[in-house]
Amino acid sequence: MSENTRKYLEAEVIVSTKDMSREDWLKARQMGIGGSDASAVAGLNPWKSAMQVYIDKKEENPKEIHSFRMELGNKLEQTVADIFTDQKGLKTRNVNGLLRNPKYPFATANIDRAIVGEKAFLECKTTNSYAAKDWEDGKIPINYEIQCYHYMAVTGAEHCYIAALIGNQDFVIHKIERDEETINQLMAIEKEFWEENVLKDVLPDPDGSYACNEFLNEKYKNVNDETVNLSYVKDVENLFSRYDEIKSDIKDLEKEKGVIEQILKEEMKEAQRGTVGDRVVTWKAQERVSIDSKKLKEELPEIAEKYSKKSSYRVFKIK
Answer yes or no: is 156 within a domain.
yes
pLDDT at 3: 45
Domain boundary among 145, 169, 198: 198
Q: What CATH number is attached to the domain comprising 189?
A: 3.90.320.10
Per-residue pLDDT of the chain in tens (319 residues, 90 and over written 9): 444 679 999 999 999 999 999 889 999 999 999 999 999 999 999 889 999 999 999 988 887 766 777 788 788 999 999 999 999 999 999 999 999 999 999 999 999 999 999 999 999 999 988 888 999 888 999 999 999 999 999 999 999 999 999 988 899 999 999 999 999 999 999 999 999 999 999 999 888 888 888 888 888 899 999 999 999 999 999 999 999 999 999 999 999 999 999 999 999 999 999 999 989 999 999 888 888 889 989 999 898 888 888 888 777 888 8
Are residues 253 and 173 part of one domain?
Answer: no
**In the chain, how many domains are there?**
2
Q: Report the distance separating Cα 83 and Cα 89, nearest Å.
A: 10
Q: Given its phi and psi angles, is residue 55 left (phi above 0), alpha (psi -120 to 50 degrees) or beta?
A: alpha
Whether 159 and 256 share a structural domain: no
54 found inside a domain: yes
How far is Cα 10 from Cα 102, in angstroms, rounded to an integer? 9
Angular region, 115: left φ>0, alpha ψ -120 to 50, beta rest = beta
- Looking at the fold, whether 129 and 263 belong to one and the same domain comes out as no
Q: Look at the chain and count its residues.
A: 319
Q: Where are the alpha helices (DSSP H) in 180-235?
A: 180-193, 210-219
Give Cα 55 to chain centroid, integer Å.
Answer: 11
Q: Is 141 a member of any domain?
A: yes
Q: What's the confidence (pLDDT) of residue 4?
A: 62
Q: Specify burial of residue 34 (Cβ count, 10 A radius: 0-12, 13-18, 19+).
A: buried
Domain final residue pick, 138, 168, 198: 198
What span, in angstroms and rounded, lies between the C-alpha atoms of 92 and 112?
Answer: 9
Q: Do 194 and 279 lie in a common domain?
A: no
| Among 56, 69, 261, residue whose Cα is nearest residue 165 | 69
Specify the long-range contacts of residues 168-175, CB closer than 8 Å, at least 24 apart. 169/129, 170/129, 170/132, 171/83, 171/87, 172/135, 173/84, 173/87, 173/88, 174/135, 174/138, 174/140
Range of the domain at 44: 7-198
Q: Are residues 193 and 241 in the same domain?
A: no
Of 57, 12, 311, the residue nearest 193 (C-alpha): 57
Handedness of CA 248, 251, 252, 257 (dihedral sign): positive
pLDDT at 240: 94
Q: Do 62 and 116 fall within a single domain?
A: yes
179 and 240 both lie in a single domain: no
Same structural domain for residues 147 and 277?
Answer: no
Distance CA 230, CA 237 (A): 10
pLDDT score, position 296: 87
Cα dihedral: 71, 75, 80, 81 (round 10) = 120
Neighbours of 178 (CB within 10 A): 17
